[in-house]
Structure 1
Amino acid sequence: MKEMFTESPTILWVDFLANGERLADEEEQVKLINHAVKSGITHMIIDAKVPFGQTTFPSKYAYHISSWSDGTFNAWKGRDFLKEFLSKMKDIKDIKVLANVDIFSEGITSSRDGMAYDKPEWQVTFYNEAASNESNAAEYSDAATIFVNPIHPEVREYELNIIKEICTYELDGIVVDRCRYPNIYGDFSDLSRNNFESYIDKKVTNWPEDIFTIDKETKEVRFASLFPKWAEWRALNIKKFISMARDTVKAVSPDLIFSDYVGSWYPLYYSEGVNWGSETYHPDLDWTSETYHVSGLAEQLDFIMTGCYYPEVEVQESEQNGRPATWYSVEGAIDKSLEVINGSIPVVGSLFLKDYTNNPDQFRKAIKMCKEKSAGVMLFDTVYLEDYNWWDILAEELNTSNKS
């Protein structure tokens, strides 16, 4: 798999929620592919399963995207996005196509669509009622996504069955996203309590206060004595699923690429319950146990994309703007990612293009930084290249970087 990174790939993410209405016109699909080819894109990631649990192809298990009750994607009724898009890519040898699968996000609060509402017993149980109103706070406070419990056996079987379906398409690989807990407040179900008590081989006397408490005034989380082991246990749960997903993909074909998208803010990633670092990396943070490294999942992947989602590109910029740490910049985030991955797999620095609205020069600089410091660059998302008319800028920058 290392060959994939010898020429510093440029990966373009095509988010279906943002682009699906436009791409219902097949001419727009062709237009997008032509833009990608001309710009020098080497990999495209297209959604097979969106953050609210619906699939963009007909699944035996999940609801189709056209089932969404608000009618947003009615134009996709009876259609298969994966099949349509891949058929247009079959003669294009210079671009690999990977399918993204949003894993443990299975519903939308606004319309109550999704498997999480069919199977309420799957849903994450939150620390308390107040926390349940922040279902996806690790991502953004007003997110409408409902998560399911990563250790529920039916949930795991369901997600793996969908991955198997996706692997029947002529793809180059699979990417998993939202393969995590929603935030620090979940999951506190009886299933999780019993599983955790088995892991630490003792009963939790004060549940859940022995893990953490929430300040009534400030709403701040205060770690308690069991939190380090709790963080380790949650991260191991995600690692176990990642391992299962990898085995599922590789059983279809060892040549299929298997990757994960995560946020680069590792020192705060206890909230998501994921240790995306290498097993050889031993973090020393106020919330990590001495054995936290055993939960590192990097070795399960062929490469990893870390979201370096900051408007500041250089460390110097983040320092000038009073950011609390150097990793609040593209450069610093890549440095932190490389430290955590510890040489185990390639790291691709990933950009949120909205961070550079009305600032194409900063966009150029961010691409250069990712290309220079990491194995390549991932661009999220296609819709901003369209909205900002940045395809030509991207092509110029990639052509320049490829020549240098």
Structure 2
Amino acid sequence: MIRMIRFLMVLFFPFLMSSTSCENNNDSVPDWEWDENEDEEKDKPRILWIDAAANFVDFANNKENIFRDMQLAKDVGFTSVVVDVRPTTGDVLFKTDVAEQVKWLGAWLDKGYSKVERTATWDYLQAFIDVGEEVGLDVYAGINTFVGGNSTSLGDQGVLFRDKDKKEWATYLLTESGVKSTMEVGGTGAKFFNPVREDVQNYICDMLEDLASYDGLKGIILDRGRFDELDSDFSDYTKNEFEEYLGYSVENFPEGVMVEGTTPGHLPSSTPEYFKKWLEFRAKVIHDFFEKAAARVKAVNPELKFGVYVGGWYSTYYGVGVNWASPEYNTASEFPTWATSEYKNYGYADIMDVILIGAYASPTKVYGTAEWTIQGFCSQAKRKIKGAAMVIGGPDVGNGAWATASNDVTNDAITQSVEAVLDVCDGYFLFDMIHLKKKDQWDAVKEGIGKVITPEEGK
């Protein structure tokens, strides 16, 4: 049930594993030029996300297509891209001995949902870094952090399916029929690791060290640096760690922690004895992992920007065990129903150089001050992060209501979103390149950026 609610809310990143991917029909790059000026907003970063699976048909084996679309991104006014190099399969598109290379990904083609195989041997991430240097775009590497596999109609992929020695790494879910491994529950989608496990954390950090060694890389952005959902993780391993955190045993586990079917934003009037302490513990787990991961990355390259992607819906984001606010923000003062007085101690914003905020409101909700408006998501995040990290927010322009709205509506919303975001935070973020390509909406972004950069000229 919780997954259905979340699906209806935003259609988060894994949806792009089944998003429509298409070839760009624009064979030539428009001759767009930008006026150089000293406007303050011009210095704010404008970041475009490049999902691996959705764009794989174009980029898996073709450097020319990488150049074509990176040049487009530069010409419309983006300053940076985040290249997804560890998709939800958990395999990788960069050099490392820790994980296997991606061999194929699923994408929507004209013939339907199909495998796109990678036959090229050149370094996928390095190709983007090289092109970025050529066209003038900073390149960040994005990874799906705590995923170990993915199941689709095309088959199962990832280390959780391949390596029996890592069977216990899978997260254990609280289900109607008791606590079960995510591998037993079945269904399609990403299969999560248990973030509490030290061996899982070390596995990810080893991978991050290899990623941090890339010369020319601007930074690393961690997506899915979280628990699967509120029903995760209820393994014996996590129970023992929770008890160690408390300093005493919990006799009635999991009933004393959470009732099955509990969903973020719809908590019962009375929750179990340890529920709020459980949320606090989960936030600490993720906080401490990021502290460890940042140290490992910075030890390799202290100049790298270390950051994270999160959903902007802070009021219910406790469901995935994450407190992305500053530790100076007193969560309990605003959300006493679920936050303890200690919950704020595990805000991890001060660990980050940059936080990308998914401001995933509908195209008719661009302006506002509250959650579920694009601008409101960003201004609320800015308030909670309190200057501890750069706050860069923006819309998903292809999923949810964006997928069914007319092109006129979405074009206007894209254009308006640039100003709406940059007026309240430190940079602009758009998800995903595939949507701009699919509907040829590059001009809508260009117009929005132009209005901010050169407002006196309106372009």
Q: How far is 1:299 from its partner?
A: 0.3
Match of 1:81 among 110, 119, 124: 124
Q: Report whether the alignment pairs 1:195 with 2:241.
A: yes
1:244 equivalent in structure 2: 292
Distance 2:211 2:234 in 1: 31
Q: Structure 1: which amino acid aligns with 2:44? A: S
Q: Residue in 1 aligned with 2:51? A: 15
Structure 1, gaps ≥5 residues long = 137-141, 317-325
Shift of residue 201, structure 1, vs aligned partner: 1.1
Counterpart secondary structure, 1:176: strand
* Structure 1 CA distance for aligned equivalents of residues 199 and 418 of structure 2: 41
Q: Spell out the pairing of 1:69-148 with structure 2 (5 A cutoff).
A: 72-92=115-135, 94-110=136-152, 111-117=155-161, 118=163, 119-128=166-175, 144-148=189-193
Which range moves more in the overlay, 394-403 or 240-249?
A: 394-403
Q: CA deviation at 1:59?
A: 2.7
Amino acid at match of 2:117: N
Superposition map of 1:194-213 within 5 A: 194-213=240-259
Deviates more, 1:101-110 or 1:349-358: 349-358
- 1:209 and 1:224 in contact (8 A); partners too: yes
**What's the offset of the Cα at 1:156?**
1.1
Change (3 A) 1:38 1:163: same
Paired residue secondary structure (2:157): coil
CA contact (8 A) 1:135 1:183 kept: no
Distance (whole Å) between structure 1 residues aligned to residue 351 and residue 211 of structure 2: 19
> 1:272 aligned to 304, 313, 320, which one?
320
Match of 1:327 in 2: 371
Tell me, in whole angstroms, the C-alpha distance in 1 between the residues paired with 2:119 and 2:293.
28
SS at match of 2:327: coil
Q: Name which of 348, 351, 355 aligns with 1:300.
A: 351
CA contact (8 A) 2:415 2:449 kept: no
Deviation at 1:348, TM superposition (A): 1.0
Taking a change above 3 Å as real, the CA distance of residues 179 and 215 of structure 1, as seen in their structure-2 partners, is closer
CA–CA separation in structure 2 for the residues paired with 1:363 and 1:291: 39
Q: Equivalent residue for 2:209?
A: 164
Corresponding position of 1:386: 437
Q: Decide which of 58, 81, 84 is 1:47's aligned counterpart.
A: 84
Q: Distance in 1 between matches of 2:338 and 2:444?
A: 43
Q: Which of 365, 386, 390 is equivalent to 1:346?
A: 390
**Structure 2: stretches of 5+ with no match in the other structure:** 1-39, 107-112
- 2:74 pairs with one of 34, 37, 56: 37
Which segment drifts farther, 352-361 or 43-52?
A: 352-361
SS at 1:306 equivalent: strand
TM-score for the superposition, normalised by structure 1:
0.89
Distance 1:131 1:383, change over 3 A: farther
Task: Confirm or deny that 1:315 pairs with 2:353.
Answer: no
Question: The residue matched to 2:259 in structure 1 has which SS?
Answer: strand
Describe the superposition over 1:10-39 as per-residue Cα deviations: whole angstroms up to 9, x where unpaired: 101111111011113222111111101211
Residue 139 of structure 1 corresponds to which residue in structure 2? none
How far apart, in 2, do the equivalents of 1:164 and 1:6 lie? 32
CA 131–258 in structure 1, closer or farther in 2 if over 3 Å, else same: farther
Question: CA–CA distance in 2 between the matches of 1:337 and 1:105?
Answer: 25
Deviation at 1:215, TM superposition (A): 5.8
* Pair 1:52–1:17, CA change in 2 (3 A): same
CA distance in 2, matches of 1:6, 1:237: 38
Deviation of the 1:57 alpha carbon: 2.4
Q: Is 144-153 or 71-80 further displaced after alignment? A: 71-80
Offset at 1:97? 0.7
The alignment covers a number of residue pairs equal to 384
Amino acid at match of 1:345: A
Measure the CA separation in 2 of the matches of 1:376 and 1:188.
38
